[in-house]
Amino acid sequence: MKSYGFFKGLARLVREFRIDAGPVSARGVPAVLVAVTGIVVAGGIAAALSRAAGELPETLRQANSLAKTLRGDENPRLPS
């Protein structure tokens, strides 16, 4: 009989689970899937950042230079 109570509680949790983010809202099973997907994506981003930690400062510097070039700054400088 204890397993029945567990599944009844789990069903209530899934039924009442709700995510509201701006104009997007999800309720029930889709909300649970969105939450799990968010956790998996965050874990993947964290793993990728930890692998590329040594290269990250150089990459950010290059991205900053690219943005300045595309924006057309008035005072372009050569990187030192």
pLDDT digits (tens, 9 = 90+) for 21-54: 888 888 888 888 888 999 999 999 999 888 887 8
Q: Which residue has the tokens 């029930």?
A: 28
| Dist CA 29 CA 51 (whole Å) | 33
φ/ψ of residue 75, rounded to 5: -120, 75
Name the most confidently modeled range: 4-8, 34-38, 64-68, 72-76: 34-38
Instruction: Locate the domains of the chain by residue range.
Output: 9-60
* Radius of gyration in angstroms for the set of CA atoms belonging to the chain, rounded to a whole number: 23
Tokens coding 2? 């204890």
Question: Which of 26-30, 58-62, 66-70, 76-80 is predicted least confidently?
Answer: 76-80
